[in-house]
A and B are shown apart, each in its own frame.
Chain A
Amino acid sequence: MATINTAWDQVSSNTFKTWAIMFFFSLFTVGIVYILGRGFGYGQTGGLGLVGMALIIAGIMNFISYYYSDKIVLGISGAKEIKKQDNPEVFRTVENLCIAAGLPLPRIYILEDSATNAFATGRDPKHAAICFTSGILQKLNKQELEGVTAHELSHVGNRDTLLMSVVSILVGTIALLTDWFLRSMFFGGGRARDDDSKSGTIFMVLALVAAILAPIVAMLIQLSISRRRELLADASGVLLTRYPQGLENALLKISKDTEPLEAANRGTAHLYIVNPLKGSSAAGFMVGLFNTHPPIEVRIKALREMEGKV
């Protein structure tokens, strides 16, 4: 994979990178759990109870938001479901791309908002929903809308809601554990520990550093996975429309529109076609690290590479 050119190459490369990141994220989580466990003063196995508890809490919280992802997001945003007669053009665009992607037809929603954006959600393709703002329907032509729809349907086909939920469980577990550790340091600093040796002190210090840094690192990893999935959805979307220019023009149009989407918040930002929160379009390295979406320029560049090769 020396040069990444075609949409096929971009799909495989982004899929591979996602799993590579996931692999290191799992190692990272295990490492942090181990260090914190030692820092808490438990032996190799004693900390498992706490880890289990953190996993269960994070698991349940995220499972609910995963299982009801469509209802929650659509409920918060206040979107309205449409039938074929309400907007045949949009309905057919979704319907035909679903046939090409081999996906069941998702429910289609329109959100009355002049911002230009779109998102897809749902725990699996059978419970998927795709939502457009009325603004995006007004501003995009047919081919651009097809590009955006193909991107969103690719999120559905790639099971991104599931993947991001798993990632959230790991991030949540780390957040809970480090939080508990710092609290116990704060309130129970004088508690007697069963491990008074030198290695115990080293693990205490290590655990303290880990407890402070780990949640931030975990969040950064989560965001990098989110950005990876966006590039993947762009590439798989192009395989559906076979017309990179459609999505490219749509992204250009959307990025020129600076109006933030009122219904979006940090929790749902990764679902949209472009970051709905706006105001952070500066492509600086540090800013880039904290974004759910890759900068528009990066996405356009990747799309341009696919031109004429699909």
Chain B
Amino acid sequence: MEIWVVLIVLGFILLWILLAYNGLVTLRNRVREALSEIDVQLKRRSSLIPNLVETVKGYAKHEKEVFENVTKARSALMGATSLGQKAQANDMLTGALKSLFAVAEAYPELKASDNFKQLQEEISDTETKVAASRQFYNTNVLDLNNNLETFPTKMIGNTFGFQKEPFFQATDEEKADIQVKF
């Protein structure tokens, strides 16, 4: 009789370990998927750049430095591998684009061109998309980290070597941006 009680209890514990482990794997995969979604949006962003540069060049040939900065930032973004590098390169690109658009202000013909307007719209939309995918990534990281830090799933996480994931953080420059907006 007693052996059965022990067996049943053990069975439940095993079942729980199984479910907890699978739950953590699911959460970790979600984080990875969310990370690849950020990549998708970053790629989308960098693929718009050459077109933009070409368009602006057509009107403002001698602003070489600005073009160089944008191109440099774009290749940095495309070459970035770690999360930190990506965040940094993305910020660099944001800064470079800002000066590009500032330069564009001086060329009324450029500003009036439909192509430029459309590209500007696309780029600002892609920036929102990058931010949104980052937000989704952070939501998933929060979920995973919560599970890895709270009892009892913490034990499973420690036993099977699950790692907490870093948040994709906004840099100081971006934070300053937001304050200006509101």
Contacts and interface: CB of A to CB of B under 8 A. Distances in A.
B49 to A, nearest CB: 20
A99 B125 contact: no
A90 to B, nearest CB: 13
Contacts of A101: 136
B118 to A, nearest CB: 10
A92 B126 CA distance: 10
Nearest to B30: A102
Q: Indicate the size class of the contact surface on chain B.
A: 10 to 19
A92 B125 contact: yes
Contact of B41 (A97, A99, A102): A99
Contacts of B133: 99-100
A97 B129 CA distance: 8
Chain B contact residues, majority secondary structure: helix
A141 interface: no
Interface string B9-41: 000000000000000000000000010010001
Q: Indicate the size class of the contact surface on chain A.
A: 10 to 19
A102 B139 contact: yes
Interface in B123-182: 125, 128-129, 131-133, 135-136, 139-140
Interface string A100-118: 1110000000000000000
B125 A100 contact: no
Contacts of B140: 102
Interface string A239-263: 1101000000000000000000000
A96 interface: yes
B30 to A, nearest CB: 8
Interface of B: 34, 37, 41, 121, 125, 128-129, 131-133, 135-136, 139-140
Given A92-B125, A96-B129, A99-B41, 5 more contacts: A99-B37, A99-B133, A99-B136, A100-B131, A100-B132
20 contacts: A88-B121, A92-B125, A95-B129, A96-B125, A96-B129, A96-B132, A97-B132, A99-B37, A99-B41, A99-B129, A99-B132, A99-B133, A99-B136, A100-B131, A100-B135, A102-B34, A102-B136, A102-B140, A240-B135, A242-B135
